[in-house]
Chains A and B, each alone.
Chain A
């Protein structure tokens, strides 16, 4: 009997065209999101592959041109580090369009090179990417609203409600039944999209998969809870639709946009501009100073390099030149740390406010898992720093001893790959969303009881 009623309700639900329109919209935009997300990352992978070929070609070219002067060779020769995209970054492109995924640096001062952006179209950045996470975060809630806003009100407005109520006696069950069918349909569509994503994007089924899936489903539950809450207020269809869309506009657009403006105002980063100036000045002013000013702190920084003979009498030497470059980085250290500190404050602020806004929380959580967030980029920058340091220390002896380029292992160098070491956790994200969904559910059930209509 019970099973039969559910079948009937399903039939009833699928009989009206809005149900089909909603499902088709989600599937079509979902596939579009998958397609555009994958294309975007495929392009980055292609460029990364090309980078290996180009680095080899350029190194050989440079040996050809500047091979006789090892200092000059390393002045020109570039080393690339790539931030290899995780398969999940096709699911959530995050900041991978804004932040460079390939940084090529020479052995000169790093602070002047590290922040170079890729060339990209600012209008595309403004409009944002179309990926599957966008569909889940922005469009699913709207379809949930469209499916549920008139669940109770429509019955009341058409006069069917009193009839239904008089027949069963357990009216809450009717609401619950209608509601659960919509939940099943939406979750079903979500599962279909996840399955397609798994095969289309080659996502491994592991803890990350589980975490992103749980986060997404919880987020959808949050929206069901929101709509359940509005149903429990027992208002008209028009009120429900307007109020729920207003909530969507507020927490998906207006509040995050306002918070973002507040964030940039509260934590501006003039240190970034200061950093460029410090680096530039720290290096260039040394040309007009005694060599001692450069070499003393340089040898303090790298005592192990003292053993190489420094040509004091020469007007110019690569030894001095590279030490001057190092001074640029050393004198920018303070402003560099200041930037880092500001970014940490920003991150802290965002994480705190995200606790109260599930859309922000979900977006940040998915980006974090996909390795396309700011933290990932900062870790990548850190990897570039480490690699740059390693390269410098590796080749300094050859330069300071003025050896031939062919005596080095330069030809073996390939682009360095940065792959993140540990998968982040999203417990906080999951818990905060669950908490909000539960609170709303409890209030709604309380509303239903209090009205004693059921």
Chain B
């Protein structure tokens, strides 16, 4: 029995390539895939090299700073750059819309700035061509053009009846056609996978990490599942609909609705239901929380006055200048602790809001396999929202550590008696700067990605099971003659 399926699949595969239009389309798609791969790879290299170059420059400048007061260094701060994951050349995801560099300084949390979108003149709104975009948007279109008449043409020409009379079951027919179409897809997808592996290996300087390999494996598998779903749906539509023309129109309408309109609408609805604050509102909420907690700039502030009193009592002195450590540094460390905590809480709430906005699109994956795959693809290539948030968190953790390190140096090494207006400022040796490590972003591991994306993975599996079920059991509702 499976032999028949294979025979039909082979037949479909051959017929597809005998059709000049399909052949032309397939070649065109293959070509644009190669182009997308090449340009994506080149883009990755230039942008990543740029960031690495400035990362080194920033480090060198940090180390070259002369002897000075540690608080000056805390304000001099550090510039962190968001590195790209080596798989991101495959899927750009939110790369162009998320900022690239963030300035890390004491007392102040900055935004991640300089996204490519900020320099774009509206062209970006049409999207960016990447391997993922071709595979997600254009390959389904190819599948539609190949498969819209897979059953309906047989019906229209009368061969369907003959086939069914020759002991071929509906089930075999549907499976055979689906597999045949997938065969065509794979014939362009497989060489591409090899190319991807090659490029990716060269991007990682031939030092392939186990995590990336696993990511790539899951990625390939997800795309294969997606193609299967699309091919099966195409064949099913062709079997159910009255004519080839109706099948083509239905499939094209679905393509437009699911891939062009729906993503925008779901996201717009998400933003509407869960509005996020503007920057000034966000900053204002933080400021009012901080003033509730205590204001380190205000000498009469009760919170800091209490600290001062307890310190004076503990060390048995009557003036902060007589304390055995730098009082200013101590207060600053306390202030940094309070403000960072408040800021982080607000940032967490904000990210929760963003996640809720995105959730509508995520859940829509159960209605739209394209959205499910898009999410998975971005997550696996580390060009998704979660990775961006993770970068923000790591940068903030680094900022806090840097500020507190400088405060500690001030507490321990700076005299407690401030110099007069005309005296030399206090300073410590530049040797201390090297103690501050460089900022390096660490990508999350595959298992965290998987656990984050459990919902969309479910959505894709749901689609896989649904289409298998339909291929197996839909036959009872299909009519041979309409």
- Interface on A for B, CB 8 Å cutoff? 18, 29, 32, 36, 39, 43, 47, 50-51, 54, 58, 65-66, 80, 94-95, 98-100, 102, 104, 112, 115-130, 134, 138-139, 142, 146, 150, 237-238, 241-242, 245, 249, 252-254, 256-265, 268-270, 272-274, 276-277, 280-281, 284, 287-288, 313-316, 342-343, 346-347, 350, 359-360, 363-364, 367, 373-375
Contact = CB atoms under 8 A, between A and B. Distances in A.
Given A260-B126, A277-B57, A363-B122, A118 B43 contact: no
B196 to A, nearest CB: 17
Interface string B313-345: 000000000000000000000000000000000
A249 B141 contact: yes
B272 A47 contact: no
A130, A238, A245: most-surrounded residue (chain B CB, <10 A): A238
Interface size class of B (residues with CB under 8 A): 35 or more
A395 to B, nearest CB: 20
B79 A117 contact: no
Contacts of B279: 100, 102, 118-119
Interface stretch (B200-208, B262-270, B437-445): B262-270
B121 A350 contact: yes
Given A43-B275, A121-B358, A124-B357, 17 more contacts: A122-B388, A125-B97, A127-B361, A134-B264, A139-B256, A241-B248, A260-B123, A264-B116, A265-B42, A273-B100, A273-B114, A276-B79, A280-B76, A281-B61, A315-B421, A360-B126, A364-B121
Nearest 3 CB-CB pairings of A with B? A256-B126, A127-B267, A374-B121
A128, A257, A315, A360: most-surrounded residue (chain B CB, <10 A): A257
B47 interface: yes
Given A32-B265, A104-B280, A315 B129 contact: no
Given A130-B264, A139-B261, A241 B97 contact: no
Given A262-B39, A277-B79, A314-B421, A50 B281 contact: yes
A119 B111 contact: yes
Nearest to A270: B50
A117 B280 contact: no
8 contacts: A18-B249, A32-B265, A54-B284, A119-B277, A257-B129, A261-B128, A270-B54, A363-B126
B252 A241 contact: yes
The secondary-structure label for the interface of chain B is helix
Interface string B53-65: 1100110010001
A269 B124 CA distance: 15
Contacts of A129: 264, 268
A252 B126 contact: yes
A351 to B, nearest CB: 9
Interface of B: 21, 32, 35, 39-40, 42-43, 46-47, 50-51, 53-54, 57-58, 61, 65-66, 68, 72, 75-77, 79, 81, 93-94, 96-101, 103, 110-130, 133, 137-138, 141, 145, 149, 244-245, 248-249, 252, 256, 260-261, 263-268, 270-272, 275-282, 284, 287, 295, 297-298, 350, 354, 357-358, 361, 385, 388, 419, 421-425
The secondary-structure label for the interface of chain A is helix
A95 B50 contact: no
A95 B97 contact: no
B278 A98 contact: no
Contacts of B115: 98, 117, 122
A276 B101 contact: yes
A254 B126 CA distance: 8
Nearest to B39: A261
A127 B362 CA distance: 13
A304 B482 CA distance: 90
Given A47-B278, A260-B128, A115 B121 contact: no
Contact of A261 (B43, B256, B422): B43
Contact of B121 (A102, A273, A280, A347): A347
B119 to A, nearest CB: 5
Contacts of A66: 297
Given A102-B280, A265-B42, A260 B120 contact: yes
A343 to B, nearest CB: 6
B114 A259 contact: no
A46 to B, nearest CB: 9
B126 to A, nearest CB: 3
A215 to B, nearest CB: 14
A124 B65 CA distance: 41
Contacts of A112: 103
A146 to B, nearest CB: 7
Contacts of A346: 119, 121
Contact of B127 (A80, A253, A364): A253
A253 B137 contact: yes
Given A241-B248, A315-B424, A277 B58 contact: yes
Nearest to A64: B298
A39 B272 CA distance: 8
A126 B383 CA distance: 11
A272 B119 contact: yes
B58 A254 contact: no
Contacts of B425: 315-316
B282 to A, nearest CB: 6
Given A118-B279, A257-B133, A315-B423, A273 B54 contact: yes
A49 to B, nearest CB: 11
Contacts of A242: 21, 145, 248
B119 A343 contact: yes
B385 A122 contact: yes
A100 B99 CA distance: 13
A342 to B, nearest CB: 8
B173 to A, nearest CB: 21
A12 to B, nearest CB: 18
A109 B353 CA distance: 33
B126 A238 contact: no
